[in-house]
Amino acid sequence: MIYNGIDFDTYLKNYPDENGYFGKYGGSYISDDLKAAMDEITEAYFTICKSRKFISELRRIRKEFQGRPTPISYLERLSGKIGNVQLYVKREDLNHTGAHKLNHCMGEVLLAKYMGKKKVIAETGAGQHGVAMATAAAYFGLECDIYMGSVDIKKQAPNVARMKILGANVVEVTHGLATLKEAVDAAFEAYAKDYKNSMYCIGSVVGPHPFPMMVRDFQSIVGIEAREQFVGMTGELPDAIVACVGGGSNAAGFFSGFLNDPVEIYGVEPLGRGTKLGDHAASLQYGTEGVMHGFNSIMLKDENGEPAPVYSVASGLDYPSSGPEHAFLHELGRVKYDVIGDDDTIDAFFELSRTEGIIPAIESAHAVAYAIKLAKEMGKGSILINLSGRGDKDMDYIIEQYGIR
């Protein structure tokens, strides 16, 4: 399918280009030391990850350890309540550890093992990426250093405990605002010093080349399975698909299976409390072009051009930019990016729990809320939602903020 001059038949092979660009977005804006390290990963990715041995080992791990393929569930009662649109969810909440993040972490850490690395290094904000990394490192028997700001360590005690139980070393970052940005800088720095021995593993389709490509490719299993399963269940393609977008990894993998199809694709960003800067994290909607964390994309900036403070009720979505591929697909118009706020999200959180017996992650509830809104507009047809994770991690917060409705 040709869309806006781009041939989506060959898109996944041709994008990004060899320097990591999706159009003008992506690339690699880092020090020479780090560039040498990233080049080593890129080279390894194109040789090791394309080898039959790597592919068959990852395939076995997905089946025997992660519990893949995850199913698609038809939301019969919720669809019935809304009208004539049939709603379905791809169940990444049933992937081991309860979210999609393990899909790319298992791929990245398996690559580290094949490269002969002894240690993996990552940063984490809310702790979800840290937990997935700690899980993968434990599985492969590698050391694991997770850099985390002291403010986040205090806020995310259960995830810190999980990482420690899994044997990871949580490195406290105390300078600056002591949150995600400082943790990213500290992890990059530690990696640049020790890249012979270790591998850095990023948490989404962000950062310098090759990460946006590599993470998308590892997540593409979600889109491949979903397309095949949906066609198997219904005999046709969905009319629309929906995923939430923070950094954009669950969306990138899920979308990749449908880019070449006559399917409407929607990426949903968090509008939080409203449109004022600082009240949301809808970077593609309200941001401008800029470089942060080693890549060029669309980002939310403060008056000095630095990454702006952002907010979302879902801690996994409060990132001031999105992956370069999303910026590109947004510019092309192949994917429509829209927003949904906290209130609609929390309504959808309870709605899915009560009508279907599935408690979604608050991140994923953004996609559910948007799909409900879209279904009312469409009037007929089908929508497949990527349910990126389960809501167990959000219980304390929900009870504290909203009570039992």
Ligand X SMILES: *Cc1c(COP(=O)(O)O)cnc(C)c1O
Q: Which residues form the catalytic set? A: 101, 123, 388
Stretch that binds ligand X, among 21-29, 173-181, 269-277, 359-367 (CB under 6 A): 359-367
CB of 95 to ligand X, least distance (A): 10
Instruction: Give yes or no for a contact between 118 and 141, defined as CB atoms under 8 angstroms apart.
Output: no
316 binds ligand X (CB under 6 A): yes
Nearer Cβ to ligand X, position 145 or 318? 318
CB of 165 to ligand X, least distance (A): 19
Q: Can you give the chain as a three-state secondary structure string?
A: CEECCEECCCHHHHCCCCCCEECCEECCCCCHHHHHHHHHHHHHHHHHCCCHHHHHHHHHHHHHHHCCCCCEEECHHHHHHHCCEEEEEEEHHHCHHHECHHHHHHHHHHHHHHCCCCEEEEECCCCHHHHHHHHHHHHHCCEEEEEEEHHHHHHCHHHHHHHHHCCCEEEEECCCCCCHHHHHHHHHHHHHHCCCCEEECCCCCCCCCCHHHHHHHHHHHHHHHHHHHHHHHHCCCCCEEEEECCCCHHHHHHHHCCCCCCCEEEEEEEEECCCCCCCCCCHHHHCEEEEECCEEEEECECCCCCECCCCCCCHHHCCCECCHHHHHHHHHCCEEEEEEEHHHHHHHHHHHHHHHCCCECHHHHHHHHHHHHHHHHHCCEEEEEEECEECHHHHHHHHHHHCCC
CB of 2 to ligand X, least distance (A): 28
CA distances (Å), origin 335, targets 166, 251, 271: 38, 10, 18
225 binds ligand X (CB under 6 A): no
Nearer Cβ to ligand X, position 26 or 389? 389
312 binds ligand X (CB under 6 A): no
Nearer Cβ to ligand X, position 90 or 101? 101
Stretch that binds ligand X, among 30-38, 292-300, 343-351, 358-366 (CB under 6 A): 358-366
CB of 80 to ligand X, least distance (A): 26
250 binds ligand X (CB under 6 A): yes
Nearer Cβ to ligand X, position 101 or 334? 101
Measuring CA to CA, which residue among 257, 126, 117 is closest to residue 201?
A: 117
99 binds ligand X (CB under 6 A): yes
Instruction: Give yes or no for a contact between 104 and 260, defined as CB atoms under 8 angstroms apart.
Output: no
Stretch that binds ligand X, among 44-52, 65-73, 238-246, 350-358 (CB under 6 A): 238-246
Nearer Cβ to ligand X, position 26 or 316? 316
Return d(Cα 260, Cα 282) in angstroms, integer.
Answer: 26
245 binds ligand X (CB under 6 A): yes
Among 220, 249, 321, 345, binds ligand X (CB under 6 A): 249
Nearer Cβ to ligand X, position 251 or 378? 251
363 binds ligand X (CB under 6 A): yes
Among 27, 69, 149, 248, binds ligand X (CB under 6 A): 248
Binders of ligand X among 193-212, rule CB under 6 A? Answer: 204
CB of 219 to ligand X, least distance (A): 8
CB of 70 to ligand X, least distance (A): 13
Instruction: Give yes or no for a contact between 215 and 252, defined as CB atoms under 8 angstroms apart.
Output: yes
Binders of ligand X among 132-191, rule CB under 6 A? Answer: none
101 binds ligand X (CB under 6 A): yes
How many residues at the interface with ligand X, by CB under 6 A? 19
Nearer Cβ to ligand X, position 86 or 125? 125
Return d(Cα 308, Cα 292) in angstroms, integer.
Answer: 11
389 binds ligand X (CB under 6 A): yes
Q: How many CA atoms lie within 13 A of 47 on its CB side?
A: 9
272 binds ligand X (CB under 6 A): no
Among 66, 128, 256, 283, binds ligand X (CB under 6 A): 128
66 binds ligand X (CB under 6 A): no
CB of 326 to ligand X, least distance (A): 9
Among 97, 159, 285, 364, binds ligand X (CB under 6 A): 364
Binding residues for ligand X (CB under 6 A): 99, 101, 128, 204, 244-251, 316-317, 361, 363-364, 388-389
